[in-house]
Structure 1
């Protein structure tokens, strides 16, 4: 099969609609809509749109692909900030336009695209303001057979593998069997490596209860009574079935005016830990001297003794702190936080009677480096106390469950996600979800959870080996830029 190079140029509306539509398929492969094969279809269409095109055409088609993907799947941001929603969509669409620019137009694109998508992911998950790893390709692939490859080199490898699978299909459709076979061997090789790679080992089992107080979605701190939120979770805690080793409250459901130490809320939580004879972990917001705030989880022993805290390290830009406040605040004073949260700097673990607990607070679970910090410092289970009650729709909440599944696969740990209004869930080291709650319901879910030790290759290696591999792939692909998929004309008869 051979496609005329001028076809798309003569029908300029077709590639515009095609690139937006292909990106839309990626959006539909994401939670909450998600069916993972749609992302592969989208990538095959993108490959066809980029084939043998000049630089400007590849740029626009890549940009359209990014826009079709990111604007629908980050729609929830409109409820917070329309300018922010537009800025994020435009900036990251341009990033995927750059993927089109960097993609060689010949057959090297089948090799280059996996590496380029890895590099785009590495940038987007870390820049700007520490990264925005929402609506990512790995979230869409967590149900795919190759999701387990995150155990080897993390979520960037899953990006590369997913795009490589699509390129196997693309090369096969073009009857370029040699390229399709080589890519397929690489994919199977990574999958086989992940299947036998270390996953950690069990130390024992504890009984864990996750408390969800319930209440309406789409609420903000400004229009919510903190005392009501606290009481909802106090009431829900009466549903806990003793004996229980660990009880987890969600992020920032304990809102203290002033310091948490010696506050009435601290005393009541100590009493609850004593009453249930359990280790209690609860999410707290407190006001610090000097006008800053702190977002942390506090621990209480079964005797009711405070036993440490973990302060959130990865803060939400424009939600928990304002980058370039002097520039931005005059333009958007109504929805920005009045005070910045203090950033924590301690390892993401808590030593408790229930075991050494790894912690990723809310937003942190989207970042593989926070889970890697927790497990690298000996975390035996990963807790994700979170608060999704502010968000419109359920896009963020379902994507967070997908991220918890990825973190479980990467680390070889159980993940326990507790939210005030949904979703709360248990995830096993295989990425399987247990007992997910509904939105707004008051509930306690309780399950035996393995404490585990040992690291996976992903927690040891981090992202940089994949970044280096992706760069090498890009260089190799451009080395073949002069090759085309057009068959050579037959030699003339002599």
Structure 2
């Protein structure tokens, strides 16, 4: 019992001593941990920086009081999210960018508070890593259906830990990285303690070493789960990148030019096929927003698409904006048959708040008039997207949806043999956004054991194998067409089969640790009251 009371002691900490500069060391370390975590994300191949980032965060938070931990966590959150999300201000200025980062950093601050209180418990690295995943789960769901951008797993697309995505999805992958970082700190801490005292219980040292080594061992053990064999044969797929007339939000005013660019590049591909320069694809994928002119309401747009699809002569998935007379707009993918025209649709299910629709419009307008560029809100669809394209079942995950765990998983469970992630990143110019999003598709490929093709209006378009390797990619803001033979698969990885279960288990572990602290604190408080009475 005494160990429990010590572990959850909540008496005020002694006043800090030393020079003012010395008092800045821990806050500076917290902010630096966030910066290191940012640097571990694409386009930099520095995935391993996430481990020392979490080791440094653990040093900042270990044994801290809740209020102090909240502030340190907020600094870490700003150090991470301000540079990571800088692309959100690419064309609308710094206010929306800073506001988003400031709000999202609150989740990291609350997570840091939870981490600090469980650091006083036995096996704290496991509990603290689970608390981090609990924080990510909350951020991915609230508010406005959540904002999962910046999950630790999305920085590991080229890393050692990536095979764990096939085992338990992004929660298990992220948990392993965080646990390894916390285990590194605890191992160093215990080592320094031994050096100082020449006495160290074997149990705590063993637990620290296991926290460091088990994630690495598990990642190596999960390698056999990463399989890129062609279980259902192969398909030759083409991804069209038509490009846009100019960068930024104003590209929307050039809707017809964007459509013409994609039609022209498709017709050029047809000429290349006829000349024998490239293989004829089984089907073609256009990006999101490749036709912002509704082909059901604009006969000229319909004719342009129809001519291009007939020229290539195979089914084509076309990204379009549908504009009904009343109600909300729809971000839609249309299955376009060369003989019959449009025959099926998928309406984007996760529409982007403050991008495709504006919550609290009158309030947000006080901070930025750019909200009025979105004159009419988009509404979400409610049907899982799987197109049968020339006999291949293609799962559809439109742009922003790739950040959400359930979006790709739904399509695979519905029979998808490969996945398409049509996107439109022209709004964000040459920022890191497109590389961050591409990494998500790499993680999804391994998570579900599927080839992923990413057609983007302005780049980077890519072809990704089921093992996460990018085998073809385009340059940004360059018209291009990728043609590749990809393996088709129908087996389900453990991550697909388990679904949300690993995340629930890790959240339960976190809740158990936090509950242990709460109960111990309540008992200690009652004991002190009884003694005082």
Cα displacement (A) at 1:7:
11
Deviates more, 1:401-410 or 1:240-249: 240-249
Contact 1:286 1:294 in 2 (8 A): yes
Q: CA separation in 2, counterparts of 1:9 and 1:121? A: 35
* 1:149-195 superposed Cα distances (whole Å, 9 cap, x missing partner): 11122101111000111122112212352112332464256435633
Query: Are 1:191 and 2:206 matched, yes or no?
Result: no
Task: Say which SS state the counterpart of residue 206 (structure 1) adopts.
Answer: strand
1:476 Cα deviation from its structure 2 partner? 4.2
Q: Which residue of 2 aligns with 1:111?
A: 126
Equivalent residue, structure 1, for 2:360:
324
Backbone CA RMSD of aligned residues = 2.5
Aligned to 1:160: 175
Q: 1:54 to 1:187 in 2, by over 3 A?
A: same
**Match for residue 5 of structure 2?**
none
C-alpha separation between the residues in 2 aligned to 1:249 and 1:407?
20
Matched positions, count: 477
After superposition, give the CA deviation of every residue in 1:191-236 in whole Å (9 maximum; x if it has no partner). 3563344868620111111111124563225663111111211221
Aligned 8 A contact 1:122 1:467 in 2? no
Following the alignment from structure 1 to structure 2, what is the Cα–Cα distance between the partners of residues 198 and 14?
42
Counterpart in 1 of 2:33?
A: 22
For 2:349, the equivalent position in structure 1 comes to 313
The residue aligned with 1:179 is 207
- Distance change (3 Å), C-alpha of 1:413 and 1:98: same
Change (3 A) 1:256 1:9: farther
Judge conservation of contact 1:32–1:399 (CA < 8 Å) in 2: yes
Matches within 5 A, 1:403-442: 403-442=440-479
Other-structure match for 2:70: 59
Report the alpha carbon displacement of residue 477 of structure 1 after superposing the two structures with TM.
7.5
Distance 1:22 1:469 in 2: 23
2-side partners of 1:40 and 1:418: how far apart? Answer: 32
CA distance in 2, matches of 1:217, 1:16: 42
Is the 2:156–2:162 Cα contact (8 Å) retained in structure 1? Answer: yes
In structure 2, do the counterparts of structure 1 residues 217 and 143 end up closer, same or farther at CA, with 3 Å as the change threshold? farther
Unaligned runs of 5+ in 2: 1-12, 192-203, 274-279, 521-533
Question: 139-148 or 424-433, which moves further after superposition?
Answer: 139-148
Secondary structure of the 1:255 match is: coil
Matched, 1:381 2:438: no
Quick one: structure 1 residues 216 and 273, their matched pair in 2 at CA, closer, same or farther if it must change by over 3 Å?
Answer: closer
Q: 1:492 is matched with which residue?
A: none
Kindly indicate whether the alpha-carbon contact (under 8 Å) linking 1:226 and 1:255 is maintained by their aligned counterparts in 2.
yes
Q: Separation in 2 of the partners of 1:304 and 1:261?
A: 17
**Residues 1:397 and 2:434 aligned together:** yes
In structure 1, runs of 5+ residues without a counterpart are 483-494
Distance in 2 separating the partners of 1:283 and 1:331: 32
Q: Which moved more, 1:358-367 or 1:461-470?
A: 461-470
Aligned-residue offset at 1:466: 1.9
- TM-score, normalised relative to structure 1: 0.90
Alpha-carbon deviation of 1:374?
0.8
**Aligned equivalent of 1:169:** 184
For residues 400 and 382 of structure 1, the distance between their equivalents in structure 2, rounded to whole angstroms, comes to 15
Correspondence 1:14-53 to 2 at 5 A: 14-53=25-64
Deviation sequence 1:7-46 (CA, Å, 0-9, x none): 9764211112111111111111112235112111111111
SS at 2:222 equivalent: helix
Are the aligned partners of 2:399 and 2:422 in contact in 1 as well (CA < 8 Å)?
yes
**CA shift for structure 1 position 267:** 2.8
Deviates more, 1:75-84 or 1:429-438: 75-84
Report if aligned partners of 2:267, 2:308 keep a CA contact under 8 Å in 1: no
**TM-aligned CA deviation for residue 445 of structure 1:** 1.2
**CA spacing shift, 1:229–1:42, aligned 2, 3 Å:** same
Are 1:227 and 2:256 an aligned pair? yes
- The alpha-carbon deviation at position 451 of structure 1 amounts to 1.9
* Separation (CA, whole Å) in 2 of partners of 1:322 and 1:180: 47
Q: Say whether the 8 Å CA contact 1:150–1:158 is kept in structure 2.
A: yes
Deviation, structure 1 residue 291: 4.8
Distance 2:55 2:14 in 1: 19
Asked if residue 339 in structure 1 is aligned to residue 367 in structure 2, the reply is no
Deviation at 1:409, TM superposition (A): 0.8
- 2:148 counterpart residue number: 133
- Following superposition, the deviation at residue 444 of structure 1 comes to 0.9
